[in-house]
Chains A and B, each alone.
Chain A
Amino acid sequence: MTTYFLQRFLLMIPTFIGITFLCFTVTRFVPGGPVEQAVLRYQQLQALTGEGGAGDAGGSSATDGGPVISEETMQKLRAIYGFDKPFYLAYLSWLGRVVQLDLGTSDTFARPVWDVIRDSLPVSLWFGLTGFILSYTICIPLGVWKAVKHGSAFDTATSVLVFIAYSIPGWSAGILLLLLFGGGSFWSVFPLGGVSSAQIGPDSYLAGFLLEGARVEDIPDDERAKHPQLRPGQFINSRHPAFAAVPPAKRQRLTRGSSDDLSWFGQVLDRIWHMILPVFCYVLGMFASKTVLMKNSLMENLGQDYVRTAFAKGLSERTVIFKHALRNSLIPIATGLGHMLSLVLAGSYLIEKVFNIHGFGYLGYTALVARDYPVTLGILVIASSLKLLGNIFADMLYCAIDPRIRFS
């Protein structure tokens, strides 16, 4: 069995090369890549400055096709973006750097790709995992209950819900929810997006959780000199190191601020408040198919001979269902856990866009639109590695749960 999994790990390498080579090659040949975009920006800039200076130059440099870029400049541009070599050589050098865990530098952020991704990953994991765990905690009891009560009014009613949830993509439900519950067109209950509140006014739900604070003007001068970044008219909260120096009489409860000005409990509430709609969308996308899978799996197992054997032993219906049948029907559900990470990350592109959550999916989306190939490929590297590892992990789970399965 160890040999088997060792083989699987080794097989990851050619698969990984296949995936990345294909995608890398595509990036080399699609029109509208970073070089063309740089040329376009250059031409637009030239056209603007050329118009501005048209009176002096008399239109001498302007031609019908816009300003001409010298072949020398083009070569430089190609070299900057790594388009100066044939695609296979470029791929090899890219792969060589990836093996050394160097994903290059982002074209749009001008920072290492690792740093850009590292900033965005926790947000996505936080939202995705919450949605994932929540969808499992809903789908397993619901599926079990539907199987036990098969054919009842409860089963039919929840089936309708499941069908609706299954047919609405999470992100489009997100748009609908934002329209209904965010922004104020109908009911202004939830924020429009983001992870935490940037502005909390006196009429906000969270106003009661604002900390004590003080005006910058009320800070004693010697203390204020230590914090040159503070401007008159600003407020500081009780977490600020200068707050201790403020005389108690001058302290007051803040009436407006951002999530930084909330108490610890208020910050948690603020996070949750921002999470409800997006997490609902994640759950919507995931729970429907799992509920049906859970129900069908349990129904199938309840019809098995060993269930009859268990009943014939005198066990209660409860023990038969929850011990004998459930253990077997959880096998297909539990193996889905293997794909947890890749699912969480892959399923987030559009939901993160809709709710303006700056996570992994949002990064991938903007990188694609901006043709930021180093980031796009970096995301591909991480997503495909997680997917491949997830496959193996799922097989390991199979082995752990089902004693019949032994790989060799």
Chain B
Amino acid sequence: MPDDLLRVTDLKTWFRTEAGLARAVDGVDFTIREREVLGLVGESGSGKSVTALSILQLIPDPPGRIVDGQIFFGGEDLLEGYRRGSYERIRQIRGNQISMIFQEPMTSLNPVFPIGDQVAEAIMLHQRLSRPAALDRAAEMLDLVGIPAARQRLFDYPHQFSGGMRQRVMIAMALACQPALLIADEPTTALDVTIQAQILELMLAAKEKSGRAAILLITHDLAVVAETCQRVAVMYCGRIQEIGDTRTIFTAPGHPYTRGLLRSLPRRGQKVRRLPTIEGTVPSLFELPAGCSFSTRCPERLDQCSTLPPPLIETVPGHLVRCHLARPAASSTPDRASHRPPQPTQSATTPPCQGQL
């Protein structure tokens, strides 16, 4: 596909720990198109952040190691240098063509340098500007992300900013070199709810103004995904279980896990004593089931699920589901419905997917 900006195929990032080998990311495939916002959702420990860090090769080694896969960016495999132990190429890309915003704005800035210098650092490095010129550009960027009196605040230290303001600084830093891809790893999780929406809007607006980057938005907030993303990938136990456009995922989820997630969301005008949950717990990364990793909790489990890993199946063009229940293209909907056993909670809450049937 010509408009693919980033294509990740069969990415495997494993961690060697004292407890054993943790397959944090175990065969992830997805693509990001130019200028789109792709949401990557999943619960804690599902491998979202490790996937993101793997793209920029920021996995701490040891214990982590990208053991397999390709990451194509502009036709070039970013992992080619990594396999040789050379970081030269990825360093030219980091902060320049692909940049990243982290979850913790409070600790992601260096406490002993003024923020102006920290923003200007990447500009000086990648655009070969002088320090005064880079500081000018940094002030522009800080102004763009809505920091008042940006020019005076260049020389302030991170501790003189609030959490929301620091995340703005991080966004300014990430967008300073007009990257083609911005990876935002739970950029709003550590912030107040009132600030969260501001930051998200700001990120999207700033991206538009500063060169229209594509965004990989990692979150576990489905409401954020629904509002901001064109496409969504759902991760569970180090694999992408379902990927497709946001509308389809929310209206006709193909994977039992996605359905479980959506079912557990509170709904307006609906009175329930307790929100439905997905039964059971996430299996340990050290003892993943041989077959489908969701098979231990899946309410629609088949016999083959616990032994045979399900393939990714394209149920609708552009919509992939990793489930034995999924049926390719046209035949998918009735098939899935016939396999689904009646659920007491389902009939009570009317899951959104039934609206399509």
Task: State whether A328 touches B121 (Cβ < 8 A).
Answer: no
Contacts of B173 in A (CB 8 A): 309, 313
Q: How far is the CA of A349 from the CA of B230 in the complex (A)?
A: 74
Q: How far is the CA of A327 from the CA of B58 in the complex (A)?
A: 21
Task: Look across to chain B and name the residue whose beta carbon is closest to the beta carbon of A316.
Answer: B91
Task: Look across to chain A and name the residue whose beta carbon is closest to the beta carbon of B126.
Answer: A314
Task: State whether A308 touches B112 (Cβ < 8 A).
Answer: no
Task: Look across to chain A and name the residue whose beta carbon is closest to the beta carbon of B160.
Answer: A403
Q: How far is the CB of B291 from chain A (nearest CB, A)?
A: 35
Given A314-B95, A314-B125: A306 touches B107 (CB 8 Å cut-off): yes
Contacts of B68-111 to chain A: CB distance below 8 A: 87, 91-96, 99-100, 102, 104, 107-111
Contacts of B96 in A (CB 8 A): 314
- In the assembled complex, B122 has its CB within 8 A of some CB on chain A: yes
Question: What string of 1s and 0s marks CB contacts (under 8 Å) between A274-316 and chain B?
Answer: 0000000000000000000000000000001110111111111
| Interface size band for A | 20 to 34
Task: State whether A404 touches B95 (Cβ < 8 A).
Answer: no
Task: State whether A313 touches B102 (Cβ < 8 A).
Answer: no
Q: How far is the CA of A313 from the CA of B100 in the complex (A)?
A: 8
Task: State whether B157 touches A403 (Cβ < 8 A).
Answer: yes
Contacts of A316 in B (CB 8 A): 91
Task: State whether B94 touches A311 (Cβ < 8 A).
Answer: yes
Task: State whether A313 touches B112 (Cβ < 8 A).
Answer: no
Question: What string of 1s and 0s marks CB contacts (under 8 Å) between A106-123 and chain B?
Answer: 000000000000000000
Task: State whether B102 touches A311 (Cβ < 8 A).
Answer: no
Q: Which of A308, A314, A403 contacts B93 (CB 8 A)?
A: A314
Q: How far is the CA of A64 from the CA of B217 in the complex (A)?
A: 100
Inter-chain residue pair count (beta carbon < 8 A): 72
Q: How far is the CA of A403 from the CA of B125 in the complex (A)?
A: 25
Q: Which of A308, A311, A312, A328 contacts B111 (CB 8 A)?
A: A328
Task: State whether A315 touches B121 (Cβ < 8 A).
Answer: yes
Given A308-B58, A312-B100: A328 touches B125 (CB 8 Å cut-off): no
- In the assembled complex, A324 has its CB within 8 A of some CB on chain B: yes
- In the assembled complex, A402 has its CB within 8 A of some CB on chain B: yes
Task: Look across to chain B and name the residue whose beta carbon is closest to the beta carbon of A325.
Answer: B110
Question: What string of 1s and 0s marks CB contacts (under 8 Å) between B37-67 and chain A?
Answer: 0000000000000000000101000000000
| Interface size band for B | 20 to 34
Task: Look across to chain B and name the residue whose beta carbon is closest to the beta carbon of A328.
Answer: B112
Task: State whether B102 touches A314 (Cβ < 8 A).
Answer: no
Q: How far is the CB of A322 from chain B (nearest CB, A)?
A: 13
Task: State whether B125 touches A306 (Cβ < 8 A).
Answer: no
Contacts of B109-159 to chain A: CB distance below 8 A: 109-113, 121-122, 125-126, 157, 159
Of the listed residues A308, A312, A402, the one surrounded by the most CB atoms of chain B closer than 10 A to its CB is A312
Contacts of B111 in A (CB 8 A): 306, 328, 402-404
Q: How far is the CA of A305 from the CA of B95 in the complex (A)?
A: 16
Task: State whether B121 touches A312 (Cβ < 8 A).
Answer: no
Q: How far is the CB of A38 from chain B (nearest CB, A)?
A: 60
Q: How far is the CB of B138 from chain A (nearest CB, A)?
A: 12
Contacts of A403 in B (CB 8 A): 111-112, 157, 159
Contacts of A401 in B (CB 8 A): 112
Contacts of B126 in A (CB 8 A): 314
Q: How far is the CB of A376 from chain B (nearest CB, A)?
A: 44
Task: State whether B125 touches A308 (Cβ < 8 A).
Answer: no
Q: How far is the CA of A311 from the CA of B113 in the complex (A)?
A: 16
Q: Which of B95, B104, B113, B159 contacts A313 (CB 8 A)?
A: B95
Q: How far is the CB of A374 from chain B (nearest CB, A)?
A: 47
Q: Could you list some 14 contacts between A and B, CB below 8 A?
A: A305-B107, A309-B108, A312-B58, A313-B95, A313-B99, A313-B125, A314-B95, A314-B126, A328-B110, A328-B111, A401-B112, A403-B112, A403-B159, A404-B112
Binding site for A on B (CB under 8 A): 56, 58, 87, 91-96, 99-100, 102, 104, 107-113, 121-122, 125-126, 157, 159, 170, 173
Other than the given A312-B95, A314-B125, A403-B157, 8 more pairs (CB < 8 A) read A305-B107, A306-B108, A306-B109, A309-B110, A313-B94, A324-B110, A402-B112, A404-B111
Which 7 A-B pairs rank lowest in CB-CB distance, beginning with the nearest?
A313-B95, A314-B94, A314-B95, A305-B107, A313-B122, A306-B110, A403-B157
